[in-house]
Amino acid sequence: MVIVNEKICDLCGTCVAVCPVDCIELTEFDLIINDEICIRCNICIKMCPFAALTSKTSEV
Ligand code: SF4
Ligand code: SF4
């Protein structure tokens, strides 16, 4: 799943625009990533200008 570091995120909306399945929602105060829709393409992680997104595997 994709994790957002809210201390770094500028709420710029770039990740929302690049997500191919529209699973990122930007509100006035935070970013919500719907992990059930996310296809783990990692485009948002590459495109975030602030490197606020990281990927975390749920498998141990
Ligand atoms: S692209 Fe990065 S800084 Fe911009 S809203 Fe998404 S996570 Fe936040
Ligand atoms: S990894 Fe891909 S599908 Fe998942 S939130 Fe990022 S851009 Fe969207």
- 10 Cα: distance to centroid of ligand 1 (angstroms): 6
3-class secondary-structure state, position 55: strand
Q: Does 39 fall in a domain?
A: yes
Nearest 5°: CA angle at 10, between 57 and 59?
Answer: 5
User: Mean of the per-residue pLDDT values for the chain?
Assistant: 94
State which ligand 1 atom lies nearest to the alpha carbon of 10.
3
> pLDDT tens for residues 8-31?
999 999 999 999 999 999 999 999
pLDDT tens digits for range 25-52: 999 999 999 999 999 999 999 999 999 9
Give me the domain span that covers residue 48.
2-55
Q: Is 52 close to ligand 2, i.e. is its CB under 6 Å away?
A: no
Inside any domain, residue 60: no
**What pTM does this model have?**
0.92
Ligand 2 nearest atom to the CA of residue 55, by list position: 1
Q: Which residues of 8-17 are buried (b: 16+ CB within 10 A; e: fewer)?
A: ebebeebbbe
Q: What is the CATH number of the domain that holds 27?
A: 3.30.70.20
58 has a pLDDT exceeding 70:
no
Instruction: Quickly state the pLDDT bin for 56 (edges 50, 70, 90).
Output: confident
